[in-house]
Amino acid sequence: MLAILLLGFSSGLPLALTLGTLSAWLATAGVSKTAIGLFALVGLPYNFKFAWAPLLDGVRVPWLADRLGPRRAWAIVVQIFLGAAMACFALLDPREAPAAIAAVALAVAFLSASQDIVVDAYRVEILEENAQGAGAAVVQLGYRVGMLASGAGALFMADAFGWQTAFIVVAALIGVGIAAMLTSPEPAARPRGLPLAGTECATRSERLRAWGERFIIGPFADFMRRPRWQAILLFVVLYKLGDVVAGGMANPFYIEMGFTLTEIASVTKVFGLVATLAGAVAGGIVVARLGVVRGVLLCGVLQMASNLMFAALAMAGHDIRMLIAAIGIENFTGGMGTAAFVAYLSALCSRAFTATQYALLSSLAALGRSTLGAASGWLADHLDWVSFFVVSTAAAVPGLLLLLWLMARAGALPEPTKRTAVESA
């Protein structure tokens, strides 16, 4: 669990750096708002990391994999390159080399998404099934602290010592993840996956085709053998929809209610972070006590109901106590829902294809949030705030109903069929 906490910290560092701290750096250098807005596109690798996850599942790092194991070898290689890429920001000037900064930011995002692939697979494989809920909570704790270090922490360092120092210190913190991997065990050997037509392939093209069958086609074929897999994927898209609709308009709502930027920052960022971390711990406990599926259902109901607190805040108007109550309840239940959801995605993965299947599921959830949440602005323009948050609450209902439907048919957490290709291998 300590290793998972430290790996979560390492995973959180580059996300806040590229999606938050970078924009502050560019703004202080006088870069136009239009150009800064375009830098949001560097986050695309997080949505499409499933595309190269098979390489991390099926290709061994020469020499290093023999000494550390395939998972730890990939993690350390990716982390070394990630730290180096993050340090490159310290060598660049936003006014003179914006294109180079964009290229570095894209490289950091790609390496960060690759680190997430390996860390998620490592966490799923190293923990027993009954520990997945606790692991999900712990990784969320580390992740949030890492984002705090490269977000608010980097801004404090930049203000005191300059941007170069801030970038170098944040890059050096990747060493926490490297140390965690070097001092932790390699997961037990995984099943081979889909069997090959023959153990010895005569030509290079045959070996390449066999590799593709096992590590590219295999993860998807394995998942599609499970009953009601289409409904499971739809649930993954819909589970966080209520939070996404409400969260997309949160800051405009606070400002329209008359809260100052200081009030918004102190309550939503500082107090909200504490509430989220507490909720993540509570979510891990709920999953451990109730099991993954019932834990996801309970946490989902609570995070759905919490949106009504914002409807109450809209009726109360500018009331700092109501803001604290709304943020506290929403972030606490949101942390619960996230921890339970991570445990659920982990439980869905076959041990033969952990990296690829988890990357696919998490990318699908992120892509769903990006696309379905885009309508929140239109809704806010056409509804008053009370109606808007009632609608956002209702947006969570389809996902929960779908989960109940799956539970009634024993399909919410499917196992592979009794004689899959994985077991045959």
In this structure, what CATH number is given to the domain that contains residue 315?
Answer: 1.20.1250.20
Mean pLDDT of 209-235: 85
Mean pLDDT of 214-236: 87
Band (216; pLDDT cuts 50, 70, 90): confident
List, in sequence order, the alpha helices (H) in 162-249: 163-172, 175-182, 204-212, 218-224, 229-238, 241-248
Residue 3 is predicted with a pLDDT of 94
CB 317 within 8 A of CB 264: no
Domain end (from 122, 148, 182): 182
3-state secondary structure of 181: helix
172 and 237 inside one domain: no
155 and 255 inside one domain: no
Band (422; pLDDT cuts 50, 70, 90): very low
Q: By mean pLDDT, which of 126-135, 260-269, 352-361 is the weakest?
A: 260-269
Residue 421 is predicted with a pLDDT of 36
For the chain, the first-to-last Cα distance in angstroms comes to 31
CA dist., res. 236 & res. 265, Å (int): 31
Domain-located, residue 37: yes
Domain end (from 161, 182, 203): 182
Domain-located, residue 237: yes
Domain-located, residue 208: no
Domain-located, residue 205: no
Band (33; pLDDT cuts 50, 70, 90): low
15 and 138 inside one domain: yes
Domain-located, residue 221: no
Tell whether the model's pLDDT for residue 417 goes beyond 50: no
310 and 254 inside one domain: yes
Domain-located, residue 190: no
Mean pLDDT of 144-159: 86
Tell whether the model's pLDDT for residue 318 goes beyond 70: yes
160 and 297 inside one domain: no
Higher pLDDT, residue 371 or 321: 321
19 and 168 inside one domain: yes
Structural domain containing residue 339? 226-424
Band (244; pLDDT cuts 50, 70, 90): confident
Domain-located, residue 215: no
Tell whether the model's pLDDT for residue 196 goes beyond 60: no
250 and 131 inside one domain: no
264 and 359 inside one domain: yes
In the 8-state DSSP scheme, what is residue 150?
I
Mean pLDDT over the full length of the chain: 85
Domain end (from 182, 210, 234): 182
150 and 63 inside one domain: yes
Band (183; pLDDT cuts 50, 70, 90): very high
Q: By mean pLDDT, which of 57-71, 159-173, 212-226, 394-408 is the weakest?
A: 212-226
φ and ψ of 355, to 5 deg: -60, -45
| pLDDT tens figures, 80-123 | 999 999 999 999 998 888 889 999 999 999 999 999 999 999 99
238 and 383 inside one domain: yes
Query: How are the residues of the chain apportioned to helix, strand and coil, as percentages rounded to the nearest 5?
Result: 80, 0, 20
285 and 162 inside one domain: no
Residue 423 is predicted with a pLDDT of 36
Give which of 123, 103, 228 is closest to 177, Cα–Cα: 123
Residue 201 is predicted with a pLDDT of 54
Domain-located, residue 118: yes
What's the full length of the chain, in residues? Answer: 425
Q: Which token pair is 310? A: 């914002």
173 and 295 inside one domain: no
CA dist., res. 273 & res. 332, Å (int): 9
Counted domains in the chain: 2
Tell whether the model's pLDDT for residue 134 goes beyond 50: yes
Mean pLDDT of 5-21: 89
Q: By mean pLDDT, which of 52-56, 209-213, 232-236, 343-347 is the weakest?
A: 209-213
Q: By mean pLDDT, which of 95-109, 215-229, 256-270 is the weakest?
A: 256-270
